[in-house]
Amino acid sequence: MRRTQVGLLRLQSYLSWIFVVLIEAPIFWLLMRFFSVRVFHKENLKGLKPPFILVSNHLTLIDSWFPVYAIAFPQFIWKHWLLTWHMPEATNYFRGLQAVLVWLSRSIPIVRGSRPREVAAALEKVVEVLKKGESVYIFPEGTRSRTGRIGNYTTGIGRIYKKVPHCSILPIYLRGTENVLPIGVKFPRLFKKIDVVIGKPVRIKSEDSGLKANKVIAEQIFKILVNMEKEYFESSQYRSKEIVQ
């Protein structure tokens, strides 16, 4: 990457941390009072160090609120690396003032179906962020599920991870966000139950190279999430009404 681009990423990182601590965090804390958030297996965060890639299933436009709350609030105020970067679909957010606010929330936009050169430029920024010891939130599916269950995966995460193999993958399974902001609804529905299941951090290995490596890595990550979903629906521990944090 050019020095100018690296400098802009550093500036964005610094300004976003100030924005989140002074403005977004208080609003975030207040907003979370209107939901019942159950966090399972928080012990899996013990010893977690940067950089890491947080991955989860994708149900709504606000999915990232709840894992960040579960694993990093309020610690991200003094541990900036817990405040993950995001890769939102640009057409969903980057318009007018909303674009500024999303930029200040540590976002690197990407446009699905855009030219390979543009996608490569966005992924290069993500790799740079990880190499600097920060963390990124990625949805391996690449888009929101229309069925409520995990769908197909894209190979973009494999392409990123291949360049930073020292990263940990932190898998998280979400349930309930589909009731907060279903596709087509503009405003969140309050007082809903959200489940955040934290998996064990892992490192992915692949002896392949090129496009095959991208696919193999992405497939391994995807299988972890699929297994977490299966366990969620089969295990009795997630049927309890008790809030676990």
Residue 108 sits in a domain whose CATH number is: 3.40.1130.10
Question: Does 196 score more than 80 pLDDT?
Answer: yes
For 20-46, b/e burial (b = at least 16 CB within 10 A) is bbeebbeeeeeebeebebbbbeeebbe
The mean pLDDT of 222-245, rounded to a whole number, is 81
Structure tokens at 147: 């069925």
The answer to whether residue 200 scores a pLDDT higher than 50 is yes
Q: Determine if the pTM surpasses 0.85.
A: yes
Does residue 85 fall inside a structural domain?
A: yes
Instruction: Let me know if residue 204 belongs to a domain.
Output: yes
Q: In this structure, is residue 244 part of a structural domain?
A: no
What lies within 8 Å, CB to CB, of 71 at 6+ separation is: 42, 45, 54, 82, 170, 172, 198
Helices (H) and strands (E) in the chain, counts: 9, 6
23-32, 49-58, 70-79, 80-89, range with greatest mean pLDDT: 49-58
Domain of residue 58 covers 3-238
Total domains, the chain: 1
Domain assignment of residue 217, yes or no: yes
Residue 182 within any structural domain of the chain: yes
Considering the domain boundaries, does residue 243 fall inside one? no
Within 10 Å of residue 61's Cβ, how many Cβ atoms?
Answer: 19
Q: What is the pLDDT of residues 155-187, one digit of tens each?
A: 999 999 999 989 999 999 999 999 999 888 888
Cis amide bond preceding 74, omega within 30: yes
Strand partners of residue 55: 138, 171
